[in-house]
Amino acid sequence: MTAKKEPTYDEAQIAERLRDLEGWSYAGGVIQRVFKTDGFPRTLMLVNAIGYFAEAADHHPDMLVKWGSVAVALSTHSAGGITDKDFALAHRIQDLART
């Protein structure tokens, strides 16, 4: 028995859902945002926190780590698009970045 593929959102639905996520955008098949930090130690703390919650959700973002920023990109590869998993993790990351 194969697992049922998770439903994906179309571009209009993604745009609607992104209204609840400040600073996030959709491009190239991913929802994405760059989080600015005040230096590398805080960047690493944010990356580690994102990694912890991503692992707990078994859903792993692509991240680009720089001295004062973390770029995060989310999509559900197994579903071939953007799913509830992406929005749930984006909300969690957004909450982390505010603390």
Tokens representing residue 16 in the block? 């609607």
pLDDT < 70 stretches in the chain: 1-3, 99
3-state secondary structure (DSSP) of residue 48: helix
11-98 belongs to which homologous superfamily? Transcriptional coactivator/pterin dehydratase (3.30.1360.20)
pLDDT at 4: 73
Tokens representing residue 76 in the block? 């559900």
pLDDT at 98: 82
The structural domains of the chain, with segments of one domain joined by +, span: 11-98
pLDDT at 16: 97
- Paired sense of beta strands 30-36 and 25-27, if any: antiparallel
In the chain, % helix, strand, coil (3-state, to 5) comes to 40, 25, 35
Distance in angstroms (rounded) separating the CA atoms of residues 99 and 8: 30
pLDDT at 99: 53
Q: Which helix (DSSP H) or strand (DSSP E) does residue 14 occupy?
A: helix 11-18
pLDDT at 5: 78
pLDDT at 2: 57
